[in-house]
């Protein structure tokens, strides 16, 4: 049975409140095991609408669960997407307070800046032609669910755990890089914690971008010029602790840094 608009709003309010107050939440599917993926994306959009009413602005999209390592870590088998808002944007070298999050993790990513609007069902090559710049990025994810445990449906409703992101300051045109195989090294406090390649992001970050556009198209939406797209993590996510200094180095794209107080 389809969920009523009232129930969608109530569930959106629940995930929004958990994110706003960093209060861990019981999985929505514990009470509503019949919740569908389609409904979860509707809850996601309704929770974003609440943020926009409070003054946050949309800045882009993220793909999640794009690498085999991440899928295995979370026990799921398909990529998902979430919305990025102005309150999630951090500058390179930013310092975050651990206490502002439920259980933050960080992952190394490749990000796109869109140079033109695009919608429909483009090939990865066509999707890439709409990109004006590529950079390295660190994404902070922070599931609002207790113990970071959830089903695919729950995490979609919770905006794919989106919490924050830092873009590298070196923006390159995609044609100038071997985008399908860039080495990526993430270190914490000077120790390498994860190494990978952009190839781990659905085999090529452009495939992730094209998959996102196709999923948005299914809801009559697309990407807009100027939007940021996080293509997805290249490795497992790493739990953050107070005092951590995180550095990501991406071949040809320089460094991205984040500190935790
Ligand atoms: O960006 C991601 O891959 C996160 C997707 C949601 C799952 C998680 O919170 O790890
Ligand atoms: Mg991610």
The residue extents of the domains of the chain are: 5-260
Q: Are 62 and 156 in contact (CB under 8 A)?
A: no
pLDDT in tens, 39-89: 999 999 999 999 999 999 999 999 999 988 778 877 778 899 999 999 999
- Looking at 2-111, list the stretches that DSSP marks H as alpha helix, in order from N- to C-terminal side: 5-21, 28-31, 37-53, 68-74
* Distance of CA 162 from the midpoint of ligand 2 (Å): 8
Check if 70 has its Cβ closer than 6 Å to any atom of ligand 1.
yes
Check if 233 has its Cβ closer than 6 Å to any atom of ligand 1.
yes
CATH class of 5-260: alpha beta
Check if 108 has its Cβ closer than 6 Å to any atom of ligand 1.
no
- 205-224 burial code (b ≥16 CB/10 A, e <16): bbbbbbbbbebbeeeeebbe
| CA atoms of 177 and 134, how far apart (whole Å) | 9
* Distance of CA 78 from the midpoint of ligand 2 (Å): 13
User: Residue 154, Cα to own-chain centre: how many angstroms?
Assistant: 15
pLDDT at 230 over 80: yes
pTM of the model: 0.95
Residues in the 5 Å CB sphere of ion ligand 2? 64, 107, 139, 233
pLDDT at 1 over 70: no
């Amino acid at each position: 049975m389809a969920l009523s608009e009232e129930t969608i709003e109530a569930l959106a309010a629940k995930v929004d409140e958990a994110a706003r107050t960093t209060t861990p939440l019981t999985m929505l599917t514990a009470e509503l095991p019949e919740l569908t993926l389609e409904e979860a994306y509707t809850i996601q959009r309704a929770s974003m609408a609440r943020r926009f009413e409070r003054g946050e602005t949309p800045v882009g999209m993220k793909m999640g669960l794009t690498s085999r390592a991440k899928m295995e870590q979370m026990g799921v088998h398909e990529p998902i997407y979430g919305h990025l808002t102005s309150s999630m944007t951090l500058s390179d070298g930013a310092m975050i307070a651990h206490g502002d999050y439920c259980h933050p993790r960080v992952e190394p990513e490749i990000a796109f800046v869109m140079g033109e609007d695009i919608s429909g069902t483009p090939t990865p090559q066509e999707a890439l032609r709409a990109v004006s710049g590529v950079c390295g990025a660190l994404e902070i994810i922070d599931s609002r669910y207790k113990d970071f445990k959830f089903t695919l449906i729950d995490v979609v409703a919770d905006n794919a755990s989106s919490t924050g992101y830092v873009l590298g300051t070196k923006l390159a045109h995609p044609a100038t890089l071997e985008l399908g195989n860039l080495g990526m090294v993430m270190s914490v406090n000077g120790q390498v914690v994860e190494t990978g390649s952009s190839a781990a992001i659905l085999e090529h970050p452009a495939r992730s971008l094209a998959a996102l556009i196709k999923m948005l198209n299914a809801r009559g939406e697309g990407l807009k010029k100027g939007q940021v797209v996080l293509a997805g993590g290249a490795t497992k996510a790493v739990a953050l602790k107070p005092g951590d200094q995180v550095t990501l180095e991406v071949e040809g794209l320089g460094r991205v840094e984040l500190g935790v107080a």
